[in-house]
C-alpha cells in the first residue's frame, strides 16, 4: 500500500507531459488557409508539402506556419508622377492569392510577410510605370478599365515566377492637383458646348436642305401639272364641274348659250 503513491506520482507526471505534448502538437487549419512545416531540427521550411484545412499532428519541436491561401485584397493610395512630372494620387485595390502548392517556397524565399516584401513594391512599380505614360488630362478622362488592365499586366510580369498571383486591379480614384483638375473641367465643358453648337448647326442645315428639297419637289410637280393641262382637258374638267353643280339640290341651274371658251353659262343660282 505504501508503494502506490510512489508509483502514482510519476505516472501522473508522465500523463501531464503527454497531454502537453499532444496539445502542442495538435494544429487546426481553418477555412481558406494553408500551412507549411518549419522543421527546427531539419532544413527549416518544408517546401514539399502544403497542409490543407482541418486537424493535423506535428512533432512538438516543429512549427506549423499558417497563411491564407484564398483570394484576398489589399488597398492603398500611391503618389505617382504623370508624364509631365505632376504628382497624382491613385487609390486602388488589388486582388491576389498565393499559389497553394508553392506556399512553402513563397514563405522560404520572401518570408511570412510576403505582401509587404513582394506585393507592395510590385504594385507601386507597376502603378508608377503606367501612370507615367499619361498626362493629367488623359488620366482624368481616359477609361479606367484601360489603366487597370495595363497595371495588371505590369504586376503580372513583375511577379512572374514569384509564387504569387494577382487576379484583378481596381483603380478607384485618381486625384489631380486642384488647379489642374479645374482647368481640365473648364476645357471639357468648353469642348462639350462646342460639340452642342456644331450639332445645332448641322441640324439647322439639314432642316434647311429638307425644306429646299420639298419646295423644289412641289415646284417640279406644279410644272409638270401645268404642262399636262391642255385646253381640251380644262374644258372637260369645266363641264364635269358644271354638271355636278347643276345636280345640286340647293341650286336651280339654267344653261343658256355658251361662253367665249365654249363653257356653259349658269344663271339663276339661289
Q: Are residues 79 and 162 in the same domain?
A: yes
Average pLDDT on 7-23 reads 67
Task: Return the DSSP state at 53.
Answer: S
pLDDT at position 93, please? 92
Q: Within 13 Å, how many C-alpha atoms sit on residue 152's CB side?
A: 17
What CA–CA distance (Å, rounded) separates 43 from 50? 16
Which residues in the chain belong to E strands, given as ranges?
A: 26-29, 33-39, 44-45, 54-57, 62-68, 72-81, 87-98, 164-175, 254-255, 266-267
Residue 140 belongs to what domain range? 72-176
- Chain CA centroid to CA 4, Å: 79
Within-domain flag for 199: no
Exposure letters 14-38 (e unless 16+ CB within 10 A, then b): eeeeeeeeeeeeebebeeebbbbbb
Q: Are residues 90 and 169 in the same domain?
A: yes
Residue 136 pLDDT greater than 70, yes or no: yes
The secondary structure element, H or E, covering residue 202 is helix 178-228
Within-domain flag for 208: no
Residue 258 pLDDT greater than 70, yes or no: no
Within-domain flag for 192: no
**Considering its fold, how many domains does the chain have in total?**
3
Mean pLDDT score of the chain, rounded to an integer?
78
The 10 Å Cβ neighbour count of residue 138 is: 15
- Of 66-70, 100-104, 230-234, give the lowest mean pLDDT range: 230-234
pLDDT at position 270, please? 46
Residues of the chain above pLDDT 90, percent = 28
Show which of 176, 194, 217 is a domain's final residue.
176
pLDDT at position 106, please? 94
User: For residues 204 and 107, which has the higher predicted lDDT (pLDDT)?
Assistant: 107
135 and 142 Cβ atoms separated by less than 8 Å: no
Q: Are residues 43 and 93 in the same domain?
A: no
Q: Are residues 78 and 163 in the same domain?
A: yes
Q: Are residues 56 and 87 in the same domain?
A: no
**What is the grid cell recorded at 198?**
456644331
Q: Are residues 44 and 82 in the same domain?
A: no
Average pLDDT on 107-136 reads 89
User: For residues 59 and 20, which has the higher predicted lDDT (pLDDT)?
Assistant: 59
Average pLDDT on 122-129 reads 90
pLDDT at position 155, please? 94
**What is the grid cell recorded at 170?**
481596381
Within-domain flag for 191: no
Within-domain flag for 96: yes
pLDDT at position 58, please? 87
Show which of 159, 176, 193 is a domain's final residue.
176
Q: Which residues pair with 20 in a beta bridge?
A: none
Q: Are residues 113 and 169 in the same domain?
A: yes
What CA–CA distance (Å, rounded) separates 226 from 220? 10
Within-domain flag for 202: no
Per residue in 205-228, pLDDT tens?
888 788 888 878 777 776 766 666
Q: Are residues 167 and 95 in the same domain?
A: yes
Residue 1 pLDDT greater than 50, yes or no: no
pLDDT at position 121, please? 92
**What is the grid cell recorded at 8?**
502514482
- Of 16-20, 58-62, 202-206, give the lowest mean pLDDT range: 16-20
Q: Are residues 157 and 115 in the same domain?
A: yes
Q: Which long-range contacts (CB under 8 A, 24 or more apart) does 22-26 make?
A: 24/60, 25/57, 25/58, 25/59, 25/60, 26/55, 26/56, 26/57
Residue 71 pLDDT greater than 80, yes or no: yes
What CA–CA distance (Å, rounded) separates 207 from 205? 5
Q: Are residues 109 and 169 in the same domain?
A: yes
Q: Are residues 39 and 96 in the same domain?
A: no
Q: Are residues 77 and 170 in the same domain?
A: yes
Amino acid at each position: 500500500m505504501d508503494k502506490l503513491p510512489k508509483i502514482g506520482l510519476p505516472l501522473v507526471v508522465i500523463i501531464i507531459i503527454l497531454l502537453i505534448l499532444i496539445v502542442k502538437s495538435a494544429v487546426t487549419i481553418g477555412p481558406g488557409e494553408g500551412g507549411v512545416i518549419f522543421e527546427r531540427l531539419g532544413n527549416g521550411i518544408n517546401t514539399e508539402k502544403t497542409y490543407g484545412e482541418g486537424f493535423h499532428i506535428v512533432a512538438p519541436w516543429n512549427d506549423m506556419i499558417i497563411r491564407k491561401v484564398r483570394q484576398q485584397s489589399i488597398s492603398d493610395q500611391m503618389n505617382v508622377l504623370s508624364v509631365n512630372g505632376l504628382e497624382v494620387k491613385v487609390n486602388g485595390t488589388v486582388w491576389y492569392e498565393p499559389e497553394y502548392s508553392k506556399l512553402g517556397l513563397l514563405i522560404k524565399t520572401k518570408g511570412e510577410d510576403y505582401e509587404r516584401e513582394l506585393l507592395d513594391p510590385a504594385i507601386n512599380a507597376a502603378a508608377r510605370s503606367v501612370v507615367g505614360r499619361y498626362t493629367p488630362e488623359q488620366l482624368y478622362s481616359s477609361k479606367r478599365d484601360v489603366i487597370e488592365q495595363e497595371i495588371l499586366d505590369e504586376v503580372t510580369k513583375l511577379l512572374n515566377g514569384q509564387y504569387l498571383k494577382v487576379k484583378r486591379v481596381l483603380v478607384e480614384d485618381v486625384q489631380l492637383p486642384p488647379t489642374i483638375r479645374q482647368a481640365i473641367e473648364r476645357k471639357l465643358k468648353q469642348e462639350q458646348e462646342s460639340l452642342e453648337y456644331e450639332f445645332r448647326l448641322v441640324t439647322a442645315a439639314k432642316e434647311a436642305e429638307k425644306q429646299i428639297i420639298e419646295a423644289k419637289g412641289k415646284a417640279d410637280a406644279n410644272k409638270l401639272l401645268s404642262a399636262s393641262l391642255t385646253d381640251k382637258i380644262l374644258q372637260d374638267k369645266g363641264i364635269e364641274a358644271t354638271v355636278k353643280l347643276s345636280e345640286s339640290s340647293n341650286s336651280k341651274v339654267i344653261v343658256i348659250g355658251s361662253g367665249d371658251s365654249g363653257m356653259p353659262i349658269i344663271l339663276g343660282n339661289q
